[in-house]
Structure 1
């Protein structure tokens, strides 16, 4: 295999990832100064479109999102109908019914759906789901294999019985998961290729607050967010003494994450490495656990500084003591001379009289 062929193989493997399109639809009750109905569309975790059904606002949030609407006016129209008419009525009626069912007469309440799909751009495999929450807790989920709803709370059985007989809606959900959502996802990826399909490698640093605290391996500035990071010892991933942090967004659209290692029991630091890797990629960023690379606000004083500092202090004290003693000696001599002079003057004066 030539070097060029190997490079192509590595690049192909590195770009093999799963892409997602998710719609978050939220109806709320009792929330002041906030719209009662909102839909947000996310492509690979990036907001593509936003709809405020209460104030009749529908807009693309990215340049490639606007291109999708421009190239498919019918899609924009379908979004408008769903956001301004169909979904608000359904969600408001449902949240009103659930408040009675749960005996919630006052307070803040939400009813949210998460609908979406995942597409593997290498195998072509598609998966998806339609899931509903009430007040942030699982409520009911669609089973695409049986075309039925699964109640996740006792209060959801009434909803299940009602929705299971809506055959047209069941068929639509199946088609949404297997066809509509993947096709829309591919359209978004096509128009946002330069942004959504890019790969930004992270900057990796070792951080430590104090000599006794854990060493944090921190990666920032990477994209996409489908990445793994772990500590290894002698080339094998370790779990004991390791704490994983969440993947968090940066203000520029990239991501950051950290994984901490308790080094109190680490013997030979050279055996430990921090490993960063994008999902589906073979190449890794490996960082050796090296004291010299750790960034910290705490500064350890080198041992060789101690003796000179102590010596300097001793010398300073001696100088002060000597100066004080010398000054006292001079003052004493001067006082003796003054007394002797006074005695001489007194004796002379007596003789004159």
Structure 2
């Protein structure tokens, strides 16, 4: 589930320049099979940082792990407050499905609380909205401190919320005393981590001799990496296909680039290289197209015996010859010994007559 969420968040537009945002996404799934009753995600600039439900408590970014290590008590207090809000969230939304005539047991209720910070101007903003069973339901205009129904079914609820400022005051407190201080603290740690450059591990993969050769890079950070195939030092495009940039669970990234190698003569393979380049790093990761380096699910590589294969066959042949010679020599010695015993044990005619 976390992998799916991380992939969806990666597709969002992250904040640009000196603008940052922190978002808390809360979900209620009362009665929905195979889903936790309550879940919360914390998202910084489009990347999943933390996820919690009754079964999972997962920190998804290394910079956040470092923050937690250095601010353990503060983090435990923040998480405790976040989880305690579960009861307020349930109470706030208890009438959602009464108004929408949704049958009990199939509800999916979502709340998004987001704070924005412009580091250059120090301007801040807050955004809040509720969703109900996949539909926009209620949103907040922070400037007028007014709730608006984005779905006609929510009209009765916002009348109560606008008449009684309790829901607004709770939300305002969360933004000013929870979201914004955490956002500013997290940006400091995220920046420090983003300055770290991590090169990937690169592998050559091939499903079968007729499949394209996959050059796969994984574990690099940040996501500013490019991959390409080149021949004789020049980038090529013909017969090359690029895969998608994908996130790993640890916050690093992976990508692949494919080469149609079937039409390339074996003697020309040494002219081809897979190149990975990480922004801000001068050294490239270069992997030569080499038959011996390819990892494959197919145990038999057709059409070409590799140097290693030839060496193994030659070695095995020598071993077999040595074994045959040794066995033959042993058998020969045994045969000679047997004949000697037989001759020595057979009585001569003179001895037999005595």
Question: What TM-score, normalized to structure 1?
Answer: 0.51
Deviation at 1:109, TM superposition (A): 2.6
SS of structure 1 residue aligned to 2:208: coil
**Partner residue in 1 for 2:68:** 65
Deviation at 1:79, TM superposition (A): 5.7
Q: Is the 8 A contact 1:229 1:259 kept in 2?
A: no
Paired residues in the alignment total: 274
Question: Which of structures 1 and 2 has the bigger CA Rg?
Answer: 1
Q: Is the 8 A contact 2:147 2:161 kept in 1?
A: yes
**Partner residue in 2 for 1:23:** 24
**Partner residue in 2 for 1:202:** 200
Q: Is the 8 A contact 1:206 1:218 kept in 2?
A: yes
Higher mean alpha-carbon deviation, 293-302 vs 136-145, is at 136-145
Q: Is the 8 A contact 1:207 1:217 kept in 2?
A: yes
SS of structure 2 residue aligned to 1:211: coil
**Partner residue in 1 for 2:219:** 221
2-structure distance, mates of 1:106, 1:122: 48
The 1:151/1:210 distance shift into structure 2, 3 A limit, reads farther
Deviation at 1:105, TM superposition (A): 1.2
Aligned pairs (5 A) from 1:35-74: 36-41=37-42, 45=47, 47=49, 50=52, 62=65, 64-65=67-68, 67-68=70-71, 70=73, 72=74
SS of structure 2 residue aligned to 1:109: coil
Deviation at 1:29, TM superposition (A): 0.6
Q: Is the 8 A contact 1:216 1:258 kept in 2?
A: no
Aligned pairs (5 A) from 1:59-98: 62=65, 64-65=67-68, 67-68=70-71, 70=73, 72=74, 80-81=80-81, 83-84=83-84, 86-94=85-93, 96-98=94-96
The 1:150/1:302 distance shift into structure 2, 3 A limit, reads farther
**Partner residue in 2 for 1:99:** 97
Deviation at 1:215, TM superposition (A): 3.7
1-structure distance, mates of 2:281, 2:145: 38
Question: What TM-score, normalized to structure 2?
Answer: 0.51
Indicate whether 1:112 and 2:110 are aligned: yes
CA RMSD of aligned residues (A): 5.6
Unaligned runs of 5+ in 1: 1-15, 310-353
**Partner residue in 2 for 1:336:** none
2-structure distance, mates of 1:175, 1:238: 54
The 1:90/1:262 distance shift into structure 2, 3 A limit, reads same
Aligned pairs (5 A) from 1:260-275: 260-261=257-258, 263=260, 275=276
1-structure distance, mates of 2:235, 2:125: 34
Deviations 1:94-149 (A, max 9, x none): 2x433234432143432223434577989989887545444456655667788777
Deviations 1:63-98 (A, max 9, x none): 63264353x5xx8667645532x552333442x433
Q: Is the 8 A contact 2:139 2:150 kept in 1?
A: yes
Unaligned runs of 5+ in 2: 1-16, 314-354
SS of structure 2 residue aligned to 1:83: helix
